[in-house]
Chain A
């Protein structure tokens, strides 16, 4: 395959790219391989040298590293530091990498030993509190979502390869939801975190009549206390909102602030 492509007559290097996973369901990497209609064009932008889910014989000579998953073991921490040393650009891929993701639900329990016993019984394993990549290393770019939205990844990767700036929407999901002409789920009696969650998924869940669970974390302005009042006035139990806020880890610090 060619090492370069051209854009308006300018030579564009296909960056040597590697994909890695820490603790995760590998669903975000699977998303990378989805959307077959444009998959070949997508793969053609990158020179992929390491991708366990899609190829054998990975190489460790890469410029861009996409890291999926959160850190739950000491050896993952070590791997992450090694990846950081090699990669010019390190991308946190998906909500596990960005915020801890569904994994961090276990941090809710104060007694980790009890959790281990409950889940693994007598098969003792090493596991620690779940933490996002940014707790250990500098992250250059975050791609939010559980799972990530392939359309958004395509746009981000195109801009990355062309050296264009990458802007995430700063506004919440409601903006995309209303653009799609949806009827607000609160009118149908369903809770939704859309008003405080960062857009970019094209209101994936509300489009399918499911309230947002906040997988992309908070928008630049996230008025949690007002949303709490709205939930209260709709008779939605506080625990229902908290369950959603805690699910992916994006709102951890926002919840602390609200409690103060």
Chain B
């Protein structure tokens, strides 16, 4: 990897160079009841809106890659037949300015499933190949357990990655495009002092992680505890609302449905993101439901993420961003659930 530094006040120049494209980044969305700022990824229209100092966003950036609803194909119908149109939407390159390591790692995980060799998803892949990512280092929040998931740092899947060093930015460069863009800024070779400062900052960041998950032997433990009573306990708390999967940057399940327009001459085939916690996720034609109760559905979400995916890809389908636990009104968090399976006790 290539490393450079540039003066802090040049960040706006970088923004200006990239702002000619659709540019998405973290922005403030008011305050919650506890007077904490709420952040969201959205289109940025001025440098002042871009809040690289954000804690984390309630929703992931999934809606830009896997929107909750997406038209897969549209049809013109007439008496002699139909004509199909597909729009992959790849003529709109996007810049993502300000992604934390967990969120870039989440994209890398989605890539394994959705751009993989067997069933690549052209809608996702089209967007993914058409994006430019500026990563930025974060300050761990009380709910972040990315360190336990090995996703607290990121080595690929971005174009450049920034670390705020006070008077300058330390930048890791991954792509030729990123290098070309940075040439428009007064970049310099990091000095010996910059190296020291970077390592210090990383040590400081590491010391701030407070939330963790013990993943050792987890696939085996999950296998052993398939019938554990703790699942029933969690099931009682779960409201099968799907919020956890909605906010999760790595959940990708969807359903497909056809809609005929009112005039009966046009129609669309749309996909809708779904969640394995929803009551009819495992319902098949004829009405049989393989997972009729909330506990088996909640369990499945954990088995997919921490057992099935782990066995298939040697990594979990979770980046430890903590969003699901923060958003779940019932307070169901990944660290609590996994801990309860290990200890056979559900916290009150």
Contact = CB atoms under 8 A, between A and B. Distances in A.
A226 B240 contact: no
B275 interface: yes
Given A181-B40, A181-B59, A187 B33 contact: yes
A164 B82 CA distance: 18
Interface stretch (A70-78, A104-112, A172-180, A245-253): A172-180
A130 B343 CA distance: 52
B329 A230 contact: yes
Interface string A183-194: 110111100001
A183 B38 contact: yes
A135 interface: no
A179 B241 contact: no
A140 B207 CA distance: 62
Contacts of B29: 183
Given A7-B264, A41-B263, A219-B279, A171 B241 contact: yes
A175 B238 contact: no
B184 interface: no
B50 interface: no
B241 A175 contact: yes
Contacts of A155: 259
Interface string A143-170: 0000000000011001100101000001
A172 B77 contact: no
A7 B267 CA distance: 11
A12 interface: yes
B260 interface: yes
Contacts of B38: 183, 187
A183 B40 CA distance: 9
A164 B33 CA distance: 46
B236 interface: yes
Contact of A6 (B33, B69, B264): B264
Nearest to B257: A167
A232 interface: no
Contacts of A158: 260-262, 264
Contacts of B59: 178, 181
Contact of B329 (A44, A180, A184): A184
A86 interface: no
Looking at B38, B260, B294, the one whose CB has the most chain A CB atoms below 10 A away is: B260
Contacts of B236: 223, 226
Given A8-B79, A183-B29, A188-B32, A45 B241 contact: no
B186 interface: no
Nearest to A180: B68
B278 to A, nearest CB: 4
B80 A9 contact: yes
A5 B261 CA distance: 13
B32 A187 contact: yes
A237 B71 CA distance: 43
A227 to B, nearest CB: 7
Contact of B68 (A12, A179, A189): A179
Interface in B239-287: 239-243, 246-247, 259-264, 273, 275, 278-280
Interface of A: 5-9, 12, 38, 41-42, 44-45, 154-155, 158-159, 162, 164, 170-172, 174-175, 178-181, 183-184, 186-189, 194-196, 219-221, 223, 226-227, 230
